[in-house]
């Protein structure tokens, strides 16, 4: 077996991966051989040879515009909103929606020892991110009387524990036939000489291949097919770390359908020209994201009508996809390019010693789901107020933003606003939390509570029958 592997690896200049082969026991040898077998060395070699993909040029950025947008003004215009919401509600009632929740990231900044979705964030209930997402999906299914299948993407580092957790909690009450958990692929990392790194003597370092791995993952796992068989036409995409995500919001879905859009991205209005979010823009008729690090400041500061920022649309990684568009895209392997990221990757050196680098020492390769935007016909963006739809859990304290404390406060504040709008009096300083199965949005909150109700202590309105 060793000779065969050596021959294969030598072709790619990667035979150092067998350096410790003779020290390994048969099980370890088998697992290393299996790992080598699973790596697409042609692909890795082509990425090593290729120069880093060039982002958009400065000239392109200067002539970029925001794509066709549904703004908060449209949402506030009752005729526009009601028409869109009616379309979305009908699609939900027809069973045309499914949810894909991406949860394959390793949450390295958060420093939580379990998959991020298990993190307790309910401000009063302490329920997990997963429970909130599952209940939102079930709430929409219940509200419109048709199933909304749920596809959860994990990765090798998060798969087992996530599966066990969700099973232990019986998918929070969701019909197991409507839940699929699929594992995304991985990619090796290379050092500055283009050599793959060993995580251990018997193991090549690999990491999840980015949220762009969703596309191949959905296809390979059969989830896209499953959705197609159930009559699903649109996939709502969200990230596990954003508990405010407006899963299958009828108006958002309705605007997507009304626009005949193959991919709709929900965005926030940037409050700072150089805010650290991806910019959703359109250049020469193609919608794309320019990362904040690639957007020249001169372009970022351009203003348009009334002195407002020209490139105002910041991505929050919430999308609605046309199912047929995903099916077509999956047939074109090259659709999603790999991006490079310099990272600190612990490895085993030639002498067999474990090294924990203090500086980035390796390049990781990741695909991004938003790279589908330029291929989507009629792509639009839909604005949302961040307070209503986006607060991600990324960091451990004492980080100034995106910590557990921020997320808990954001949930309680949002629910307080829904209640206040419904005429409920919430005493100052009191925390309130609505299970999505109790009230999934402002509209349902209004139906659930009598005006004049008073809430004077921290309260969780839990799931109801
Ligand atoms: P992030 O890039 O913020 O990564 O992922 P992360 O794992 O949450 O946190 P850090 O950067 O390691 O601290 C954004 C979303 O995309 C998912 C994550 O689970 C998260 O929901 N994701 C990311 C994947 O599903 N797979 C990946 O390979 C990368």
Is residue 211 within 6 Å of ligand 1 at its C-beta?
yes
pLDDT at residue number 238: 98
Query: The tokens 């609605």 sit on which residue?
Result: 320
pLDDT at residue number 52: 64
Question: Considering only CA atoms, which residue is closest to atom 17 of ligand 1?
Answer: 105
Is residue 109 within 6 Å of ligand 1 at its C-beta?
yes
Instruction: Specify the ligand 1 atom closest to the Cα of 153.
Output: 25
Is residue 103 within 6 Å of ligand 1 at its C-beta?
yes
pLDDT at residue number 333: 61
pLDDT at residue number 54: 65
Is residue 129 within 6 Å of ligand 1 at its C-beta?
no
For 53-394, the fitting CATH number among 3.40.50.720, 3.10.129.10, 3.90.550.10, 2.170.190.11 is 3.90.550.10
- What are the boundaries of each domain within the chain? 1-38, 53-394, 402-465
Instruction: Specify the ligand 1 atom closest to the Cα of 239.
Output: 21
| Residues of the chain where predicted confidence (pLDDT) is lower than 50 | none
Instruction: Specify the ligand 1 atom closest to the Cα of 242.
Output: 21
Give pLDDT tens digits for 376-428: 999 999 999 999 999 999 999 999 999 999 999 999 999 999 999 999 999 99
Instruction: Specify the ligand 1 atom closest to the Cα of 110.
Output: 13
Distance from residue 266's CA to the centre of ligand 1 (Å): 18
Is residue 123 within 6 Å of ligand 1 at its C-beta?
no
- Quote the crossing angle between the two packed helices 159-168 and 129-144, to the nearest 10°: 60
Give pLDDT tens digits for 75-119: 999 999 999 999 999 999 999 999 999 999 999 999 999 999 999
Question: Considering only CA atoms, which residue is closest to atom 22 of ligand 1?
Answer: 105
pLDDT at residue number 304: 87
* Residue 348, beta-bridge partner list: 354
Task: Please provide the average confidence, as pLDDT, over all residues in the chain.
Answer: 95
Ligand 1 pocket: which of 105, 114, 336, 339 to mutate (most atoms <8 Å of CB)?
105
The pTM for the full model equals: 0.96
């Amino acid at each position: 077996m060793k000779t065969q592997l050596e021959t294969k690896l030598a072709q790619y200049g990667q035979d150092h991966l067998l350096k410790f082969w003779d020290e390994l026991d048969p099980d370890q040898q088998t697992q290393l051989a299996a790992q080598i077998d699973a790596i697409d060395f042609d692909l890795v070699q082509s990425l090593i040879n290729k120069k880093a993909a060039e982002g958009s040029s400065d000239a392109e950025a200067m002539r970029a515009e925001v794509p066709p947008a549904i703004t908060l003004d449209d949402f506030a215009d009752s005729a526009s909103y009601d028409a869109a919401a009616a379309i979305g509600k009908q699609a939900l009632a027809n069973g045309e929606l499914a949810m894909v929740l991406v949860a394959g990231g390793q949450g390295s900044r958060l420093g939580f020892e379990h998959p991020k979705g298990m993190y307790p964030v309910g401000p009063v209930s302490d329920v997990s991110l997963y429970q909130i997402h599952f209940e939102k999906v079930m709430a929409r299914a219940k509200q419109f009387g048709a199933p909304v299948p749920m596809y959860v993407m994990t990765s090798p580092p998060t798969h087992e524990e996530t599966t066990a957790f969700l099973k232990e909690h019986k998918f929070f009450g969701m019909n197991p036939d409507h839940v699929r958990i699929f594992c995304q692929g991985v990619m090796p990392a290379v050092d500055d000489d283009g050599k793959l790194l060993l995580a251990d003597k018997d193991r090549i370092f690999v990491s999840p291949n980015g949220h762009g791995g969703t596309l191949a993952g959905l296809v390979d796992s059969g989830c896209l097919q499953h959705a197609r068989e159930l009559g699903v036409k649109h996939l709502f995409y969200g990230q596990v770390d954003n508990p405010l995500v407006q899963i299958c919001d009828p108006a958002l879905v309705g605007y997507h359908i009304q626009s005949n859009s193959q991919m709709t991205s929900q965005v926030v209005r940037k409050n700072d020209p150089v805010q650290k979010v991806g910019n959703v823009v359109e250049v020469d008729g193609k919608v794309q994201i320019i990362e904040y690090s690639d957007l020249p400041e001169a372009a970022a500061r351009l203003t348009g009508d009334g002195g407002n920022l020209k490139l105002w649309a910041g991505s929050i990684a919430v999308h609605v996809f046309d199912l047929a568009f995903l099916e077509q895209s999956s047939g074109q392997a090259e659709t999603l390019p790999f991006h490079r990221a310099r990272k600190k990757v612990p490895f085993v050196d030639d002498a067999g010693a474990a090294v924990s680098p203090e500086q980035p020492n390796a390049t990781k390769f990741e695909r991004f789901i938003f790279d589908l935007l330029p291929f989507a016909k009629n792509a639009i963006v839909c604005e949302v107020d961040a307070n209503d739809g986006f607060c991600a859990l990324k960091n451990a304290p004492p980080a100034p933003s995106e910590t557990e404390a921020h997320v808990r406060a954001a949930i309680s504040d949002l629910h307080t606003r829904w209640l206040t709008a419904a005429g409920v009096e919430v005493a100052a300083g009191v925390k309130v939390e609505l299970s999505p199965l109790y009230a999934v949005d402002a509209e349902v909150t209004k139906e659930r509570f009598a005006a004049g109700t008073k809430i004077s202590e921290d309260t969780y309105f839990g799931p109801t029958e």
